Structures are given as C-alpha cells and as structure tokens.
C-alpha cells in the first residue's frame, strides 16, 4: 500500500483571502515504511510575506523571489502523488491550500476521500491530550530537537514517524530505500531513491531453498539407519507421513 505524508508552508491561514502555498514536502511510504523517495520544493507566491508567517517558517519574500511558481511544478507534484492516500496533520488546512493552488492552474482538485488526518487519529487514541505535532512527537519519543522552525519536509518526516506510531508502531528510523525497478517507477526530478544517510542499499540475489540431490540422498541414508522410528509403530504412517496426507 502506497501512501504519501505531506506538509505545507503558506503565507497565511486562508487561500480564500489571497494566501498562497510557499513550500511542500512529501514522504513516500510503502506499507508504512519510508522508502527514502521524497518530493520537496518552494514556490514563489507573487505576493508579500507577512511577518507573522515568516516568523513561523523563516521563508522571506526575498528567498522565494527566484523560485518557480506552483503551476510550473504542478505536473511533477501530481505525478509524485499518484493515486495514493495523502496523510497530513490537521489535513483540511493542507488540502485546502493544495486544492486552491491546483484550481488556480486549471487542475482537478484532490478528492477529500484520499485524506487521512493524523489529528483525528490522535484524538481518538488520546482524548483530551495535546494534539500538536510537537506534543505527539514528545509522547511517542520521536526526536524533534532539530525542529527550531516549521519546515514542510522536516515536518513531513516527523509526521511519517508519528503516523506509523499512531498505527501500532515500527522501529523508528527504519527506512528502506526504493530500488531501481520499483513498481512505482523512477522518482521525479526533485525526488530521491536514496535514504537519508545517502547509502544506496544493494539487493542480493535470492538463495535457493530446496534440498539438493546430494542432500536428499544423505537424508534417505540417515532415515534408513534410524532404530525403531516412530512412524513404524503406527500403520497409518508411511515413510514419516500420515497415510491420509499421501496422494491417492
């Protein structure tokens, strides 16, 4: 099962009042294991950056001024997302911005049936508890010491670990790199087939698991030399197998 954990950074709280997405970070999971394949990019919002928003994520209008616009990345992003379920923390916020940007460049919005909200999952598991990403990472022992500011890719990486923990848990930090020839195809131009440590894992050729002719002969010789084997005491057993299990 392929899923995408993602996070966005924006110029404000509401695209209906002119706010824009300025960053998106996506992490690919296969069967709830991070493959190391990511999509991450910044967008030029073609508008000023409010001081309140810049204080949250540190992305200034100057930094974003030479970045490409959303519509220039749209095809690449949609190819990466594919038809996977999309996981976000307080997901309606991120979906609203994502769909507003898609609609602005005449693309189909992402169906809300694909949305998985980790806030809703956490609310059911921990009623009355704090549900911020920071609070839940602390609850599950996920290291966030390097999170001094919001960042879409960093927050998506933390959320991917949290999502796995909310669903029963795995070994945190276990990341299997997607290999060449993956059924999901090659990564996008901004994607990666390498895990975070940059080491490409090598798939070894599968070993044969059937006994060789020599091993079968040795086994038959061993069985023939056994003294009073148990199967000779029961007429329903032939050559070590139940008569009922033998082909008729």
Active site residues: 150
Number of residues written out for the chain: 248
In SS3 terms, 42-93 reads as ECCCCCCCCHHHHHHHCCCHHHHCCCCCHHHHHHHHHHHHCCCEEEECCHHH
State how far the Cα of 88 lies from the Cα of 4, in Å rounded to an integer.
9
Give the number of C-alpha atoms closer than 13 A to the C-alpha of residue 136, restricted to the C-beta side: 25
Which secondary-structure segment (H or E) carries 104? Answer: helix 91-104
Are 138 and 10 within 8 A, CB to CB? no
Query: Of 58, 72, 53, 2, nearest to 31 (Cα)?
Result: 2
State how far the Cα of 143 lies from the Cα of 148, in Å rounded to an integer.
12
Q: CB neighbours of 39 closer than 8 A, spacing ≥ 6?
A: 24, 25, 26, 76, 77, 80, 187, 188, 190, 191
Strand order in the sheet with 2-10: 33-42, 21-30, 2-10, 85-88, 115-117
């Amino acid at each position: 099962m392929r899923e995408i954990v993602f996070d966005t950074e924006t110029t404000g709280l509401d695209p209906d009042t002119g706010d824009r997405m300025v960053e998106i970070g996506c992490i690919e999971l296969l069967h709830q294991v991070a493959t190391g394949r990511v999509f991450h990019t910044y967008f030029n919002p073609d508008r000023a950056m409010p001081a309140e928003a810049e204080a949250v994520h540190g992305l200034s209008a100057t930094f974003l001024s030479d970045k490409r616009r959303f519509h220039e990345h749209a095809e690449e992003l949609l190819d990466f997302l594919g038809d996977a379920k999309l996981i976000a923390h307080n997901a309606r916020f991120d979906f609203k911005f994502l769909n507003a940007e898609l609609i602005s460049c005449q693309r189909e919005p992402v169906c809300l049936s694909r949305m998985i909200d980790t806030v809703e999952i956490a609310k059911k598991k921990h009623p009355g508890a704090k549900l911020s990403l920071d609070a839940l990472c602390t609850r599950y022992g996920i290291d966030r010491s390097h999170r001094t500011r919001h960042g879409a890719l960093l927050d998506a990486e933390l959320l991917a670990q949290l999502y796995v923990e909310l669903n029963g848990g795995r070994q945190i930090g276990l990341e299997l790199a997607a290999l060449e020839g993956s059924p999901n195809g090659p990564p996008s131009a901004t994607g990666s087939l390498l895990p975070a440590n940059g080491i490409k894992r090598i798939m070894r050729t599968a070993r044969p698991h059937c006994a060789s002719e020599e091993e079968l002969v040795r086994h038959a010789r061993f069985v023939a030399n056994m003294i009073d084997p148990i199967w000779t005491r029961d007429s329903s057993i032939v050559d070590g197998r139940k008569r009922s299990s033998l082909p008729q």
